Structures are given as structure tokens and as C-alpha cells.
Chain A
Amino acid sequence: MATPTQRSYIKDLSVQRLKEFKEFKEMLYSNGIVSPDSETVKNAKSVDAILDATTDAQASKMIDVLIARQAPVRARTYSQKRSERVIELLDKIKGTANDWSYDELR
């Protein structure tokens, strides 16, 4: 069973080194940490679900693989279009909340 410290470290490293959750599964298969026909990994919807069924030896190997992996290059800003849409949505949320009335509660 993976220890709490291993779990926490694996999750921190995964956030730093992986863009998406599916890369975690691919990493386990390609490094032979789990067998290619592992149903647990195939059906898992989160790293937590995989770690629930991980031995401490497997967890240790995951840490080694994650440390050896380069962190992907990612942007530190959002596109203008995306930022504007988020601001627009936030204004809409504020406007909707401001219009709440007792009538909607009856």
C-alpha cells in the first residue's frame, strides 16, 4: 500500500510533470509499473483511485519515473479571447446574483 507521504509526493509531481490525467495512465503502462491489462488502471477516473490499489514498491517506481520526467512547457498567461470570456461570465454571475429576489424563493 502506498504511504500517505508517497501519495502526496506523487500527486504533487503529477501536477508539475503531467498535463493531463491520461498521461499518468500511459506513464504506468510504458514504464511497466502496471501490466497493460490492468483493469484497475483502465477503469480509474483519478490518480487517487489508482493509488488506492498501488503497493509501496509501485509508488516508489512512480516517483522515480515522475522525477526523471521533464516538466512540460506551459504558458503563464491566457489568450485575450479566453480572458475576456471569463470576465464576461463573471460579470454575468454578479448580475444574476444581484437580481435575486424573494419571488424566486417562493
Chain B
Amino acid sequence: MNYGKLADTIDKDLLEAVDLILNTEVDPETRQLNLEILLREAGTEVYEVIYAMNAYDMEIEYTRGPGINDNYYGMAKHLSDSISLGGREDVIAQLQLWLQDQIHKAQYDAFETAGQSGKYRVATRTELPGCCEWCARHVGTFVEPTWEVFAQHDHCRGSIETSGWKSHNGTLTGKGWKQYKR
């Protein structure tokens, strides 16, 4: 699932808050300190929500992620300095990437914790008798399946049973599994 697109819903508010802090009449250190607080608070919230969503999906709701890393200090300095040094467009693009990084880190941390907790996503692919050679080659049970496990051609008659992945669990057949392709 593309959790990254959720960032679009907070981009506008985050940029407005950053713009308010980036006041030319305020001392650079004060600007930087306030940006650090803003990024830490917003980044932590984003991280925790994304981690919780992934943890639920991976059945490790009882865990907590290690949290965001400290690169928000550098991001805050970069933003604060951009008033005097220019290059605003680049810095804003970097801020959006930074936000995406927090989301990716939360996903990665949940994924790693799930693995350490013995929670693995499994896909079992079966075929009907008389299937083609290509389909027969794809039969099997796969731990942490890659997208190839879900590959299909136009007239596949087999099915895939997924487990260890709440939002995707169940049996996927025919056209129905196209939407679950990763």
C-alpha cells in the first residue's frame, strides 16, 4: 500500500506553518529552533500513525517503533537559512521528501519488528488441474511474497490464499486479485 500519498493531506498546513516561522524579522537561531519543534512534533505524529497502521496490518499492534531519526535538525537549519541563502523551491522539495522519509521509516520499522516477532506474510498459490506450464511454475507457498508471486495472465484460473497481512488476507481469484497486485 502506498502510505506516502497520505502526506498530501498535511503538506499544505505544514508549508503554511513553515512559512509563518520563516520570518525575516526573526533571528535565524530562533527560526531554526521553532522549525525543529514543528518538524519533530509533526514528524513524530506522522511516524506513530503510520507505524500503528502497519503494526495493525502485520498483527503486531502491541509494539511501538523506535521513532523518527534526528535529521529534522538539519532540515530545520536548511529551511531557516533559505531566507538568506535563497533556493526556496529546492528546500521545500526537500521538506516534502523528508516527510515521505518519515512515512517510509515507519513502514520499514514495522516490517522489521514484524519479522523479529515471527510475523510473516505468506501467499499460497494453487492452480486447477490442466493449467498451463507458466501457471504450474507459479504454484507454491511464498513467505514475504514479491510481486512476481501475484503475476497472472488473462485467463488464470488459480487462486492465492494470503495470510499474516490483515488488510490483504483472504482468497484472491481471477480478476479479483488484479486489484491486489503490488
Q: Which residues of A contact B (CB under 8 A)?
A: 11, 14-16, 18-21, 23-24, 44-49, 74-78, 82, 85-86, 89-90, 92-94, 96-98, 100, 102, 104-105
Could you tell me if A46 and B5 are in contact, using CB atoms closer than 8 angstroms?
A: no
Could you tell me if A21 and B85 are in contact, using CB atoms closer than 8 angstroms?
A: yes
23 CB contacts below 8 A, A to B, read: A19-B24, A19-B83, A20-B83, A24-B85, A24-B86, A46-B85, A47-B84, A48-B85, A48-B86, A48-B87, A74-B24, A74-B28, A75-B26, A78-B26, A85-B17, A92-B13, A93-B14, A96-B13, A104-B5, A105-B1, A105-B3, A105-B5, A105-B6
For the complex, give the distance between the alpha carbons of A102 and B145 in Å: 21
Minimum CB distance partner of A16 in chain B: B28
Could you tell me if A86 and B85 are in contact, using CB atoms closer than 8 angstroms?
A: no
Minimum CB distance partner of B28 in chain A: A15
The A/B interface has a contact count, at CB < 8 Å, of 119
- Tell me the minimal C-beta distance from A31 to chain B in angstroms: 17
- The reply to whether the CB of B116 lies closer than 8 angstroms to some CB of chain A is no
Question: Number of B interface residues, CB 8 Å?
Answer: 40
| Residues of chain A within 8 A of B16, CB atoms compared | 89
- Bitwise, B19-59 to A at CB < 8 A (1) or not (0) is 01101111110100010001001100110011001000000
For the complex, give the distance between the alpha carbons of A11 and B24 in Å: 16
